[in-house]
Amino acid sequence: MAGTLAEKVWDAHVVRRGTNGAPDLLYIDLHLVHEVTSPQAFEGLRLAGRPVRRPDLTIATEDHNTPTLDIDRPIADTTSRTQIETLRRNAAEFGVRIHSLGDADQGIVHQVGPQLGLTQPGLTVVCGDSHTSTHGAFGALAFGIGTSEVEHVLATQTLPLAPFKTMAITVDGQLPPGATAKDIILAIIAKIGTGGGQGYVLEYRGEAIRSLSMEGRMTICNMSIEAGARAGMIAPDETTFEYLKGRPHAPEGADWDAAVEYWRTLRTDDDAVFDAEVVLEAADLEPFVTWGTNPGQGLPLSGSVPVPEEIADANERVAAERAIEYMGLTPGQPLRSIKVDTVFIGSCTNGRIEDLRAVAKLVEGRRKADDVRVLVVPSSARVRLQAEAEGLDKIFLDFGAEWRNAGCSMCLGMNPDQLAPGERSASTSNRNFEGRQGKGGRTHLVSPIVAAATAIRGTLSSVADLGPDVPVPDGSPLVRTDALQTA
């Protein structure tokens, strides 16, 4: 029977079909663990006297709480320290592999899986973190789970899951210069809304998606959850295989051939039917930025802050009024006139090596705007090492930016990297919720190159605003193929 990519991966993992409305029991290939959503799960195992069923399909790292400065010193915040020490103790007690702060393989959990080659096409991947959808970029069915489910997977390596619907999101054509993967996903969320993907697994298709590097695909799948979707997926292709080949946990020799043969079957059949379809023209896209307090409240940078009276839907109007007040904006104000205090470049959405290269290319030889604080936080220690090997750290420091150690950092401000009340950021992360980056903080979500242009000018800006002498990036991957490539 014809099937979609998501259905094929699901069907290959059904341990037991649910009957009479009961969910299917699905096998989980890879379980990623971090310090915030796991302590209560391990505690549950301990209380019930249960072991981790498959430590060899489980990997832990420290990311949400970790400081990005002075990582060789004791963590100042005692509750953060307790949580990280708890993870280390649990990993030791239950035999789970862990990459701790200071280890070259430590980093944001959604970077660690791909860079080690553990994230592969056709897998089921879970983690107690909603941005697990990132791994869908490889054609894996990957989704975030709560702590009870973390405990369930630790104990049984399975999850009971209700069936999902499928939505095709086709992005035709080629992106114009200055528009990036981030702008595609922000435009999609603005189009379908923060609840538009609810109950669906999204499959991103079309020429613009196929042209993206793995980094760009991860950016898109990462934010599927911001449209309310269970997961986002992209069918694996040569770009995927090339990224994986030679990574530490990628299959080798005959195993590689067998795996690739299977991976090539992981595509939606031509006659398969999606429950819903959305089409976007890449050529229509331009740099996108959010003005409000949910990721669906975004507009092209050339636009203006909405005027609530002009919004027909009553719920949306009230939400817009509230968001504009919280954000300290004026209805009708051009988005380009918004001045920022902080530029944050990092997170599981846009903290990868390609993002850092794109930023470095623009800021090289320049100085940041006065009074703007610029934080560059690589998504993993390997990404940091890679960037240093390419000399990007010098470029950032000469620009006046701070070059930090890896972690989630200001994306959610669980560590000291926070906005002060009323402070405004342009951020390459994924959520602009009230208080997300610090109590009272105001967040505008942007792409890495918009972040770079904004850091240079001090107001929300695109690369085109830097003047006619600055070439606008055309979105082609900034990938180096030499032996240094590790991240």
Partner 1 sequence: MEKFTQHTGVGVPLRRSNVDTDQIIPAVYLKRVTRTGFEDALFAAWRGDPSFVLNQDAYRSGSVLVAGPDFGTGSSREHAVWALKDYGFKVVVSSRFADIFRGNSGKQGLLAAQVAQEDVELLWKVLETRPGTEVTVDLEARTVTCDDVVVPFQVDDYTRWRLMEGLDDIGLTLQHADEITEFEARRESWRPATLPAKHLPPVEVRPARPVVGVELGTTRRA
Cβ atoms of 458 and 424 within 8 Å: the answer is no
Token code pair at residue 120: 């592969």
341 vs 364 by CB, closer to partner 1: 341
Among 276-284, 302-310, 348-356, 370-378, the segment contacting partner 1 (CB under 8 A): 370-378
For 24, other C-beta atoms within 10 Å of its C-beta total 19
Applying the rule CB under 8 A, the residues between 65 and 104 that interact with partner 1 are 65, 68-73, 77, 79-80, 82-83, 86, 97, 102-104
Which phi and psi (to 5°) does residue 422 adopt? Answer: 85, -15
241 vs 256 by CB, closer to partner 1: 256
Binding of residue 481 to partner 1 (CB under 8 A): no
Edge-to-edge strand ranges of the sheet holding 342-345: 402-403, 373-376, 342-345, 424-427, 442-445
Crossing angle for the helix pair 78-94 and 39-48, to the nearest 10 degrees: 40
Element (H, E) at 171: strand 165-172
- Among 8, 34, 110, 152, contact with partner 1 (rule: CB under 8 A): 152
Binding of residue 443 to partner 1 (CB under 8 A): no
346 vs 473 by CB, closer to partner 1: 346
Binding of residue 331 to partner 1 (CB under 8 A): no
Cβ atoms of 90 and 42 within 8 Å: the answer is yes
Give the interface size with partner 1 as a residue count (CB under 8 A): 118
Binding of residue 318 to partner 1 (CB under 8 A): yes
Q: Return the closest-CA partner of residue 487 out of 403, 401, 378, 365.
A: 378
27 vs 464 by CB, closer to partner 1: 27
Q: Return the closest-CA partner of residue 106 out of 64, 154, 135, 153.
A: 64
407 vs 448 by CB, closer to partner 1: 407
For 287, other C-beta atoms within 10 Å of its C-beta total 27
Binding of residue 391 to partner 1 (CB under 8 A): no
Among 171-179, 225-233, 277-285, 349-357, the segment contacting partner 1 (CB under 8 A): 225-233
Beta strands in 317-398 (DSSP E): 342-345, 373-376
Q: Return the closest-CA partner of residue 301 out of 192, 180, 423, 401.
A: 180
84 vs 466 by CB, closer to partner 1: 84
Among 1-9, 151-159, 278-286, 460-468, the segment contacting partner 1 (CB under 8 A): 151-159
Applying the rule CB under 8 A, the residues between 107 and 146 that interact with partner 1 are 116-118, 120, 123, 128-130, 144-146
Which phi and psi (to 5°) does residue 147 adopt? Answer: -65, -35
Binding of residue 262 to partner 1 (CB under 8 A): yes
Those residues with Cβ within 8 angstroms of residue 19's Cβ, 6 or more apart along the chain or in another chain: none
Applying the rule CB under 8 A, the residues between 177 and 216 that interact with partner 1 are 194-195, 198-199
Applying the rule CB under 8 A, the residues between 226 and 255 that interact with partner 1 are 226, 228, 230, 248-251, 255
Applying the rule CB under 8 A, the residues between 411 and 440 that interact with partner 1 are 412-414, 418, 420, 422-423, 431, 433-436, 439
- Among 315, 365, 469, 483, contact with partner 1 (rule: CB under 8 A): 315
Among 273-281, 301-309, 406-414, 472-480, the segment contacting partner 1 (CB under 8 A): 406-414
Separation in Å, CA 39 to CA 44, 48, 151, 408: 9, 14, 10, 18
Instruction: Give min distance, CB of 274 to partner 1, in A.
Output: 18
x/- letters, 8..47, toward partner 1 (CB under 8 A): -------xx-x-xxxx-x-x-xx-----xx-xx--xx---
- Among 176, 241, 256, 336, contact with partner 1 (rule: CB under 8 A): 256
Rounded distance between C-alpha atoms, residue 120 and residue 302, angstroms: 38
Separation in Å, CA 353 to CA 243, 314, 346, 429, 448: 13, 43, 10, 15, 11
Applying the rule CB under 8 A, the residues between 162 and 181 that interact with partner 1 are 162
Binding of residue 480 to partner 1 (CB under 8 A): no
Edge-to-edge strand ranges of the sheet holding 58-61: 97-99, 58-61, 30-33, 124-127, 141-144
Q: How many H-runs (helices) and E-runs (strands) does the chain carry?
A: 16, 19
152 vs 182 by CB, closer to partner 1: 152
Instruction: Give min distance, CB of 423 to partner 1, in A.
Output: 5
Binding of residue 49 to partner 1 (CB under 8 A): no
Instruction: Give min distance, CB of 350 to partner 1, in A.
Output: 18
Rounded distance between C-alpha atoms, residue 397 and residue 377, angstroms: 12
